[in-house]
Chains A and B, each alone.
Chain A
Amino acid sequence: MRCYKGSSILATGHHPFFYKRPVSSLPASFPSTTLSYPTRNRFLSTRIQARLIHDDPVKQSEDLSFYDLLGVTESVSLPEIKQAYKQLARKYHPDVSPPDRVEEYTDRFIRVQEAYETLSDPSRRVLYDSDLSMGFSFSFSGRRRNRYHEEVVDEKSEWKKKWQTQLSGLKKRSNQRDNNSMSWAARMRRPHHTSEDSSS
């Protein structure tokens, strides 16, 4: 049972995952996303479902993974990422974009940059890959840079809540612990423990 398949239910109003932004036009160069997960076929049906429910004819760049944005496969190496990024940056930079598509190209440029920053740092890439494998493609707001990194930082406050719960769990557990336990140390800890020599 996988909880996130419930994304189809969520489409009815509550959108924690997909950040919808209006996009003025659809450039012809967007790749079709149904081809974008060659190694993740088991999630394919979920994603198609979600797409249909959105009922959106326009392929939005938020739905693309970082790998799609850079136009590379998921097993690509660092130099290839750098190369792809350089090509795309040159193409989508606001200074060289056609005047009628400046806003869209800038948006794309910022996303490509974000994709590059995440994928070129191995530790962030690892985190991103593991999210992706669980079927969550976070489409980020094009405005903020380092949004992925900031989310990592936000996690630290989550950590605190977690370990505080764990600590209280530890306390509760330790009150009950040795009552029935026959582990070596539990036997040693019992107050009426006599020395080992007296047992025959």
Chain B
Amino acid sequence: MKNLSFKELKALSDELRSDVVFNVSKTGGHLGSNLGVVELTVALHYIFNTPQDKILWDVGHQSYPHKILTGRRGKMKTLRQTNGLSGFTKRGESEHDSFGTGHSSTTISAGLGMAVGRDLKGRDNNVVAVIGDGAMTAGQAYEAMNNAGYLDSDMIVILNDNKQVSLPTANLDGPTPPVGALSRALSKLQSKRPLRELREAAKGMTKKIGGSMHRLASKVDEYARGMISGAGSTLFEELGFYYIGPVDGHNIDDLVSILKEVKSTRTSGPVLIHVVTEKGHGYHYAERAHDKYHGVVKFDPETGKQFKNISETKSYTTYFAEALIAEAEAHKDVVAIHAAMGGGTGLNLFQRRFPTRCFDVGIAEQHAVTFAAGLACEGLKPFCAIYSSFMQRAYDQVVHDVDLQKLPVRFAMDRAGLVGADGPTHCGAFDVTFMACLPNMIVMAPSDEAELFNMVATAAAIDDRPSCFRYPRGNGVGVSLPPGNKGVPLEVGKGRILREGERVALLGYGSAVQNCLEASSILDKRGLKMTVADARFCKPLDIALIRNLAKSHEVLITVEEGSIGGFGSHVVQFLALDGLLDGKLKWRPMVLPDRYIEHGSPLDQLAEAGLTASHIAATVLNLIGTPRETLYWK
């Protein structure tokens, strides 16, 4: 690739672009972001040499052209599937992927670490971190820039500015401007027309007046530039980055010239190149769509039409939004907060109905949580909708700002458990563990969509302490919904028994209850009637229910789609303290294994984790002494 001429590079970009569209149309995945960085990727690989040089892609969802150019073109049809290529960068996948990403705003930090490591080891390579303007809204990016400016290591940060902050940067009715004051500042950087015309005018005028005035006017020009350029470039320069830009991100010639110059500059210190791109550039349908085809399922490249599955039930995300709207209609203090995920959390629906009661804070989960805490102080009922996996970032804020002060913030954690094609970076394995260990938090999980409506109502009613509930990715199971979408608050700390049986009891938490029901149907055919219970609450536990199950059954299995230390651990803690383990009871936990489950289809992942209905049934049979039967199942 190094020997190509500029014209050939342009042709390469066009080919690469069609390759991306073609591949994503067959597998689904992220489209718009990848189309926006085709020229940038080509320019980077032309000038730099991975794996010695390090290129870091923030979030990683725009790394498809990078993967194609670094030897994985043939494998692109396995993208985001079991045993196939990851949808993000991954160190284990290729030596050209310098750093694993998935959550945003980490590349400047990692890049600085690599630059400093290189300096300490006396090496000579380049480090380039590509980060978007959306990821720039996160605090970590500034923490990293602050440190980079201080340490002064040579590194390049490419700010990929496509004016997209939230996902999607559109509400249900059309495009919206990106959220946050930073985006305005970046826009100002791009539009310097007034300055130019002013300078032309001033030059014209002073030339008429005479020589000394001309010099004075150019001084004026210097000052004017500083003032009128405003918050933008000065911000980066004050942080210690040399600012270059704006640059047209779809012009290969420009990109190559700039990168070449910067690469050849010794002792540059940290440099920030502000590249302006268009999300979805080069594919007609993506350019015009409000969401710029950020994430798509399989589609037809000719027409741009996606092949969406028609399902009888809606997603849990949609049900959550509908439930919250119903609560907000009943209580005017209900407000919703999310971190740049209006589409993913369903809150775009809420925003359309209550535009002044929905807050998108940009990619800033930590701020979102403390912001919600502040709202709760003033008597509002804040619902913080943050994915289980992204909540990890805001953990201290949950503990210190919310739980310690017992503020009634409600956390709605979508994408709990295994999430399918996005893989371990987005997997919500740990939320039960880290929420249930907090003294004041009420922790619950719905087993189906009707329960979700009720739990939203329950959370709205809990006004004296924080609460949270988790629900998985995917669609509802098809139970009937409460009238008017308005749930009924549940009694806190009370579970329910779904099927009566004997000898063996399955106590499920959250979506795992559905697998328990299926397992009980499997074993029913073999003549074993099991009890299936839905715990509903992990904190406070329904101790009456647990005592009852423990005393009237031989075997108790707790099932959850979470890591060790979660629901099962709380149950066994209680059993032990209550003396219920001192008798003949056999208790077994079924949790996610102690390793990261790779991306793949949800069913494959569940099987890999050992939590399918068959696995549950097999565990039961092992315990009551007929292991041979289990050999006949998959």
Contacts and interface: CB of A to CB of B under 8 A. Distances in A.
B191 A127 contact: yes
A184 B205 contact: no
B268 interface: yes
Interface stretch (A25-33, A39-47, A55-63, A168-176): A168-176
Interface stretch (B103-111, B146-154, B302-310): B146-154
Interface string B595-618: 000000000000000000000000
Interface in B162-182: 163, 173-177
Nearest to B268: A174
Given A126-B184, A166-B243, A171-B265, A78 B151 contact: no
Interface stretch (B193-201, B329-337, B625-633): B193-201
A177 B268 CA distance: 8
A130 interface: yes
A120 to B, nearest CB: 9
B269 A177 contact: yes
B184 A160 contact: no
Contacts of B152: 181, 183-186
A155 B187 contact: no
B234 to A, nearest CB: 14
Contact of B262 (A122, A151, A167, A185): A167
A171 B151 contact: no
A16 B261 contact: no
Interface stretch (A3-11, A86-94, A109-117): A3-11
**Most chain B Cβ neighbours within 10 Å, of A121, A122, A186:** A122
B268 A170 contact: yes
Nearest to A4: B198
B396 interface: no
A123 B279 CA distance: 13
B244 A122 contact: no
Contacts of B175: 121-123
A188 interface: yes
Nearest to A196: B120
A10 B201 contact: yes
Given A123-B177, A127-B187, A170-B242, A16 B197 contact: yes
A16 B269 contact: no
B371 to A, nearest CB: 23
A126 B194 contact: no
Contacts of A177: 267, 269
Nearest to B171: A78
Contacts of B176: 122
A3 B206 CA distance: 14
A81 to B, nearest CB: 11
Given A185-B119, A186-B152, A170 B262 contact: yes
A160 to B, nearest CB: 7
Contact of B153 (A127, A130, A152, A185): A185
Nearest to A122: B177
Interface stretch (B83-91, B246-254, B361-369, B428-436): B246-254
Contacts of B244: 163, 166-167, 170
A4 B224 CA distance: 10
Given A3-B198, A10-B201, A185-B119, A130 B245 contact: no
A173 to B, nearest CB: 7
A183 B224 CA distance: 31
B266 A16 contact: no
Nearest to B201: A16
Interface string B319-353: 00000000000000000000000000000000000
B177 A125 contact: yes
Nearest to B188: A130
Contact of A167 (B192, B246, B258): B258
Contact of A183 (B150, B196, B220, B242): B150
A131 interface: yes
Contacts of A4: 194, 198
Contacts of A143: none
Given A9-B205, A126-B187, A185-B269, 10 more contacts: A3-B198, A78-B174, A130-B191, A152-B191, A160-B248, A163-B244, A166-B243, A173-B242, A185-B115, A185-B119
26 contacts: A1-B223, A3-B224, A9-B205, A16-B201, A78-B173, A126-B177, A127-B187, A130-B191, A131-B191, A134-B194, A152-B191, A160-B248, A162-B246, A163-B245, A163-B247, A167-B244, A167-B262, A169-B242, A170-B265, A170-B268, A170-B271, A177-B267, A186-B152, A186-B267, A188-B153, A196-B120
Closest 3 CB pairs of A and B: A183-B152, A122-B177, A185-B152
